[in-house]
Structures are given as structure tokens and as C-alpha cells.
Amino acid sequence: MINHARSRNTTAVLDEGAGPPSRSRLSDADLSAMLLIRHFEKSLLKLFEQGFLHGTTHTCLGQEYVPVALTPLLRDDDHIFSNHRGHGHYLARYADPEGLLAELLGRAGAVCGGVGGSQHLLRERFLSTGVQGQSLPVATGVALHLKRSTPGALACVYTGDGTWGEGVVYEALNIAARWELPLLVVTENNGIAQSTPTAQQMAGDIGGRAAAFGIAYERFTDTDVNRLRAALRPLVEQVRHASRPFVVEFVTHRLGPHSKGDDSRSPAELRAVRAADWAAGYAAGHPEQFDRIDAEQSRRVERIVAEVLARPLTAWSPR
């Protein structure tokens, strides 16, 4: 039997207890992945300031640990649906910062020829789209396909808290629950939808909404990748083997602006967000490892930026 959705007052085991939990030591690989994403995102904001990047981009600063914790639990034959804030999802799945940066800069070697840009990526079974909620039913369709063709594989779809304002999300959840499809819905609840605080735009909560469909649900406030991964492992396996949808909510923090320079939060709010940053906490607990890998990834991204900027522009024909 699967778990039923938890009531709103119940939180996951991980965030119970007094005070912030201590941070376990991460593998160099996990910490490298998180700091690669961080420096990648920071470099984008710099590239905007310098006039090399155009249009829009949504950085996932502060949320890097979510895809890093989850991705190793996903298999090659799983499908991943990412969203507008998807660079971390891509970089956790593929060690390909060069291809992603080339995509954003429209340079040779781009994942999608520079056509899709930040929000529209396709590589093997990884796909992102830029319209909120749009990929929920698409992922549901893929899950239906997988249930028939590849039992045990799943479709994982990333959403934000703001995504839950879209009606098609509920149409898809209803179908996924009724048809018993292997759909893993990951919500990165960073407390703010563009500039609107979640509390102002969401009645009730995500757990209650999952419960309305009889969909199992878990909520995590922890940011420790080791503990998160251990807790996620049985949930992901449950989606595979019970062939049922599952909603996982990560309470997280968006350190950066929604897109470029559009952060309207007060200094006090920003201080609180920075205080919750996993990186600050981790650096305090494991300074030697953090400083070493932080410097490595910073230099790596710097090199990649210089190398990709020197590449020729992509070519593409509309027909």
C-alpha cells in the first residue's frame, strides 16, 4: 500500500527536532555538482551585465541541492520534464555546462542549436518547456507510455510553487492518479512566484491538493543532500513499483532574482533567504572541502565561459 497524503501539520521525519540539523559531509562529486550549478548561474548574471546574454534567464541559486539529491535516483530510461528554472536540473543530469552555456549564448556545440535557449531544452529523455504547468499532462502521457512499454520507468516533472496556479496541473494529477501512472511531481517551493509571495497566491497548500486526488505526498525542509537522497530513494522506488504518482515538495529558497535584476524583496527578506542558503551552512561546517571545491568550480566555470564565448555563432534554418 502506498502512503496517503500527509496532513499539513505533519512534516517529514527529516525536519523534526529542535534547531537546524547538522550537515553531513557530502561526497566531492555531489558538492562539485552543486557548486558547478552555483557558479554557472552566477556567471549568467555577470554575462547579462556584460551584455553577452540577451532575453531572459531564471537562475536556481539556492535550489542547487534539489536536482543533485534527486538525479542519481533516476534511471537512463526515466523521462525528466524541466521548467523555466531548469539549468540545475540539466546540469545535475548531464555534466555538460559547455553545451548549456553554448545554448544560452547561441554558440557552436549548443544543446539545441541556440533555438530553445534557457527554457526549451531537449536531450535524450530530458525536456524543458517555458509555460507553467504545460508539461504536467505531457509527462502524464509519457508515464502512460512507460507503464505499457517499460514498467519500472517513470516520468519526473519539476514544478515551482507558482505552477500550482495552472488548471491543467489538476487535470493531469487527476488522470495520473486515476490511471495509476508512474509520475513523480517535484515541487521546488521557493516561497515566491516571480514577485508574488506564495502565501499571497496559494489557498491551502500543496499537500492538501495532492491529498484531494489521493496522491501520496512528502514535504522536505532539509537541504542536506545525503539525508534527502536517502529519504527520497524509497519514494522514487514506490513510484516505479507501485506505478502511482507521488508529489514531493521541497521547501527551498531562491537566492537570486526571478530573472535578472527584478528582485523586489526587502533587505530583511533577502537577509533571511541568504541565512537559509545551504552553501553558507555547509561552508561553515566543512570549510576545507567547501573552499577547495568552490575554488575549483569557480575556475572551471570561468574557463568554460571564456572558451564558449570564443566559439562561432550557431546556424539554423527555419525550414
Partner 1 sequence: MTAPRVAGDLNTALHRLFAEDERAMLLGEDVCDPYGGAFKVTRGLSTRYPHRVRNTPISEGALVGVASGLALAGDTAIAEIMFADFVTLAFDQLVNFASKSTAMYGRRLPLRLVVRCPTGGNRGYGPTHSQTPQKHLVGVPGLALYEVSPLHDNHTLLTRMLDDGVPAVLFEGKVLYGERMFTGGMVDDLFGYELTDGVARIRLHDPVPPDCVLITSGALVHRAVEALRELLLHDEIVAELLVVSRLYPVDRAPLLSLTGPARRVAVIEESTAGGTWGAEVAAALHPSLWGTLAAPIRLIHSLDSIIPAAAHLERQVLVQSGTIRHAVKELVNG
Which residues here bind partner 1, judged by CB under 8 A? 79, 110-116, 120-122, 127, 129, 131, 134-146, 148-149, 155, 167-168, 171-172, 174-175, 178-179, 314, 316, 318
Shortest distance (Å) from residue 135 CB to partner 1? 8
Cβ distance to partner 1 smaller for residue 45 or 110: 110
Least distance from partner 1 to the Cβ atom of residue 175, Å: 6
Distance in Å, CB of 168 to partner 1, minimum: 4
CB of 33 to partner 1, least distance (A): 24
Q: Which residues of 22-52 are buried (b: 16+ CB within 10 A; e: fewer)?
A: ebeebeeebbbbbbbbbbbbbbbbebbeeee
Nearer to partner 1, 163 or 252 (CB): 163
Comparison of 17 and 167: residue with beta carbon closer to partner 1: 167
Cα–Cα distance measured from residue 26 to residue 28, given in angstroms and rounded to the nearest whole number: 6
- Using DSSP's 3-state secondary structure scheme, residue 255 falls into coil
42 or 123: whose CB is closer to partner 1?
123
Considering the complex, state which of residue 102 and residue 248 has its C-beta at the smaller distance from partner 1.
102
CB of 146 to partner 1, least distance (A): 7
8-state DSSP, 1: -
Min separation Cβ 77 and partner 1, Å:
11
Nearer to partner 1, 152 or 281 (CB): 152
Q: How many helices (H) and strands (E) does the chain have?
A: 12, 9
In the numeric block, the cell 529558497 is attached to 253
Contacts by 145-153 with C-beta closer than 8 Å and gap 24+? 146/77, 146/79, 146/182, 147/179, 147/180, 147/181, 147/182, 147/243, 150/77, 151/243, 152/182, 152/240, 152/241, 153/75, 153/77, 153/78, 153/79, 153/182, 153/240
